[in-house]
Homo-oligomer: A and B are copies of this chain.
């Protein structure tokens, strides 16, 4: 969700979206990128860390996605680069840097796509070069995309399917699949156990299967996709289709922009089948404990109601970046005679026509639920407890995402894969500076709408620094609504608005701290979710949860994202302080892109590669 066209005057342009068929050999040898890589590789080969670090601008960012660091990490400025290289250069042994497209220069910044090799794998990246007494890297993204000797069987490496020749006792694909399913967890332990089979677990499961890592995804629901099917019935994705593809198999070209929840559910179920993801439905994990001596987990679970024990080496919590539902503890909840539901339990509006409903909260779920209830004739009041950031969906799509994820982007050659890397190449440290002007544009475009909302008493915000929705998502994962229509109901007064904290419930009403009494037949707590860390506490132990610390957030020192600055999302897709414990989650974009790096980290360990972790994050906050 970044767009660099409208940028601060000093900021660099987005990556070029040029003709892929251009022969990079046509590049004049004197362009800054070619010169820079020649100097950089020369310094690396000479193991001259100071010289290599000197090729970075005074203010610069190197983001590495497991290629050098076996971590997801960003270092800053020449000193940070030197630190990273001192720890990783010898082991990484990088080589063969080469441009894959012609570099493009605009506004004094040269942008170039490149590939390279390491001792164990192949990588690609994106660099932005400025002139500071010669070409210097300003942003530098390196990412590993495959391990040598463990290339994925696809395209010209795809399996034959039919094995030609005549072989006694040949077994068919179906027989192999059936034997494998029967053995997994019984005769063969999964190397990696993925708890949670939503988009995150499924995407990771697909990648692990492609990489030949014995893995298993388990989920409590009866069918893959039920994670979506079971949500409130009006739910559609808030992100558009171009942003939402899973790995390997893109949505067809007729897929809706904002997919309805049941359609996504069906897609996930089909995807599990088509990609042959090892997946156990109806499976509840009861507990997990780690044995330091054997470096394996003991996981107790119930499959179809039957107790089982698994002993995986790696444990991945893919139980949702939002963690467990938050239900506030309120006086009078026991005396209230109506229904009370967390938003995750809300079935939809059908049963509530003519009923009085109070929805506590004013973010995505609250608005969606209020809107659907109003549409079906309920009498709805929203209780706003704190200010909310609202952007109109069309505006967000156009201004916020359009350059990277849209038909327009595709037509300009920005494939999903390129968009993911462009997006990943903007350092979190300065991402907000590119976001602020976009949200200023949005504010201006929809000024009349915001004016009406404010007049209706709605408390708006744009994030503490005005950087808007995506930064809120990365920092705290809450605090916003992507408006698909329900905000108009609040602006019009069709959905009534109340303010403040709930004091208590009576038999028939919600009473706010200011004494306002809201009669209710139904109370919906659209009060969000806890940290993923809570899952670790529940499934493993409080001790391990505390050792791992807070998940998500950047350390931006804004509400719900305390400092110090981390530079990356805490504990996500990378080594934690607990050996062999990993966290995976996020929206469909993150599930797609970051599952690659998590899968490669697991594959490297399963294959017995040396994976020294540079800059493993320290823990500053409990869950």
Whether B257 pairs with A172 at a CB distance below 8 angstroms is: no
Which A residues are within 8 Å of any B CB, using their own CB? 19, 21, 152-156, 158-170, 172-175, 177, 210, 233-234, 236-237, 241, 248-249, 252-260, 262-263, 266-267, 269-270, 273-275, 348, 371-372, 374-377, 393-394, 407, 484-486, 488-489, 494
Bound-complex Cα distance A494 to B167 (A): 12
Which chain B residues border A174 with CB–CB below 8 Å? Answer: 233, 260, 262
What residue in chain B is nearest A484 (Cβ atoms)?
B164
Instruction: Pick the most buried of A255, A371, A394: most chain B CB atoms within 10 A of its CB.
Output: A255
Whether B255 pairs with A252 at a CB distance below 8 angstroms is: no
What residue in chain B is nearest A167 (Cβ atoms)?
B375
B166, B393, B485: the one contacting A375 at CB < 8 Å is B166
Which chain B residues border A164 with CB–CB below 8 Å? Answer: 393-394, 484-485
A contacts with B: majority SS: loop
B21, B155, B262: the one contacting A253 at CB < 8 Å is B155
Whether B252 pairs with A249 at a CB distance below 8 angstroms is: yes
Bound-complex Cα distance A160 to B263 (A): 13
Whether A161 pairs with B485 at a CB distance below 8 angstroms is: no
CB distance from A253 to the nearest CB of B (A): 4
What residue in chain B is nearest A265 (Cβ atoms)?
B174
The answer to whether residues A248 and B237 also contact, given A162-B258, A168-B377 and a CB cut-off of 8 A, is: no
The 10 A-B pairs with the shortest beta carbon distances in the complex, nearest first, are A161-B256, A162-B236, A173-B260, A270-B270, A162-B258, A165-B485, A161-B258, A174-B262, A154-B254, A154-B253
The answer to whether residues A248 and B253 also contact, given A162-B484, A376-B169 and a CB cut-off of 8 A, is: yes
What residue in chain B is nearest A165 (Cβ atoms)?
B485
Which chain B residues border A259 with CB–CB below 8 Å? Answer: 161
CB distance from A590 to the nearest CB of B (A): 20
B175, B254, B267, B275: the one contacting A210 at CB < 8 Å is B254
Whether A372 pairs with B267 at a CB distance below 8 angstroms is: no
Whether B234 pairs with A252 at a CB distance below 8 angstroms is: no
- 18 residue pairs bridging A and B, Cβ less than 8 Å apart: A152-B254, A153-B254, A155-B253, A159-B256, A161-B258, A161-B260, A162-B236, A162-B257, A164-B484, A166-B375, A168-B375, A168-B377, A169-B375, A210-B254, A248-B252, A252-B274, A270-B273, A270-B274
Which chain B residues border A257 with CB–CB below 8 Å? Answer: 158-162
CB distance from A351 to the nearest CB of B (A): 14
Which chain B residues border A19 with CB–CB below 8 Å? Answer: 21
Which chain B residues border A273 with CB–CB below 8 Å? Answer: 266, 269-270
Bound-complex Cα distance A21 to B101 (A): 15
Whether B160 pairs with A256 at a CB distance below 8 angstroms is: yes
Which chain B residues border A263 with CB–CB below 8 Å? Answer: 161, 173
Which chain B residues border A269 with CB–CB below 8 Å? Answer: 273
What residue in chain B is nearest A257 (Cβ atoms)?
B160
Whether A407 pairs with B256 at a CB distance below 8 angstroms is: no
B163, B267, B407: the one contacting A155 at CB < 8 Å is B407
What residue in chain B is nearest A375 (Cβ atoms)?
B170
Whether A252 pairs with B270 at a CB distance below 8 angstroms is: no
Bound-complex Cα distance A334 to B237 (A): 63
Bound-complex Cα distance A266 to B274 (A): 7
Bound-complex Cα distance A159 to B256 (A): 5
Which chain B residues border A168 with CB–CB below 8 Å? Answer: 375-377
Bound-complex Cα distance A407 to B249 (A): 17
CB distance from A172 to the nearest CB of B (A): 5
CB distance from A228 to the nearest CB of B (A): 11
CB distance from A213 to the nearest CB of B (A): 15
Whether A170 pairs with B252 at a CB distance below 8 angstroms is: no
Whether B407 pairs with A156 at a CB distance below 8 angstroms is: yes
CB distance from A175 to the nearest CB of B (A): 8
Which chain B residues border A270 with CB–CB below 8 Å? Answer: 270, 273-274
Whether A241 pairs with B375 at a CB distance below 8 angstroms is: no
CB distance from A493 to the nearest CB of B (A): 12
Which chain B residues border A258 with CB–CB below 8 Å? Answer: 160-162
What residue in chain B is nearest A176 (Cβ atoms)?
B260
CB distance from A377 to the nearest CB of B (A): 7
Bound-complex Cα distance A267 to B276 (A): 11
Whether B237 pairs with A170 at a CB distance below 8 angstroms is: no
What residue in chain B is nearest A160 (Cβ atoms)?
B257
The answer to whether residues A161 and B375 also contact, given A254-B248, A274-B252 and a CB cut-off of 8 A, is: no
B173, B485, B489: the one contacting A262 at CB < 8 Å is B173
